[in-house]
Amino acid sequence: MTTVLITGCSSGFGLETARHFQERGWTVVATMREPREDLLPASERLKVLPLDVTDGASIAACLEAAGPIDVLVNNAGVGLLNALEGVPMEAARRVFETNTLGTIAMAKAVLPQLRERRAGVIVNVTSTVTLAPLHLLSVYTASKAAVNAFTECLALEVEPFGIRARIVLPGRAPETAFGQNARKHMPLGIPDAYGEIAEGVFAKWADEPADEVTHASDVAEAVWRAATDPTCPMRLPAGADAVALAERVRRGMGMA
């Protein structure tokens, strides 16, 4: 397999994953809502294409321009951090349209070609927030947890056709644009009634060890393993904090 299509490549996990595959000689189809040719090294094995995963016509046009692909990495997503009472329903719908239905739509669109070739991999990037409950993340967590369940069921469906589906679960990544992204969907801010809870959450984050976070390179390496290693487990945590949380959950300890 030599061609990978990655969604959400304008920054963060997607951009670093595109670099990771490009450095290893793969043909990379890097997609984003507003394409920028200057983000990755120019190469005959690089295509930068526009893609809105919430738009069926955009998906069809992107796949037509991409040509045959061997691996799909569903990384595009939007963040949302707020108490449920502070989340407008249009914001909740937008999160599910991108994070959940966009992932499903992309997988559905690429499956026919993978099935015909009886080979391929679909890697869905979700989050370790799905491993244990957290304040202010109910809607975002629900959108990602749905992708976990979808991927595990999909893997059963496509295995007879030689196709694998895997999940990469990043932890907290301060260096990415998640926080800025999430604020776009908080037009009214956190409701006053939840102010004390929010202050406690932010204070806890500030006190967490600086070396126990997830870097974009951690996610890129995990996606690479999921795409290239047939023995990779269904769920692969990415980042020091993600690995530690997954181990605590496995041992029945939950959040620290």
Strand 120-125 versus strand 3-6 pairing type: unpaired
Pick from 224, 198, 170: nearest CA to 82: 198
- Which residues does 124 contact at the CB level (< 8 Å), separation at least 6? 74, 103, 107, 147, 148, 150, 151, 165, 166, 167, 168
> How far is C-alpha 55 from the chain's CA centre?
18
Rounded (to 5) percent helix, strand, coil in the chain:
50, 15, 35
Mark whether 140 is an active-site residue: yes
In DSSP notation, 59-117 reads HHHHHHHH-S-SEEEE-------S-GGG--HHHHHHHIIIIIIHHHHHHHHHHHHHHHH
Considering 21, 26, 140, 178, which one is annotated as catalytic? Answer: 140
Residues annotated as catalytic are: 140
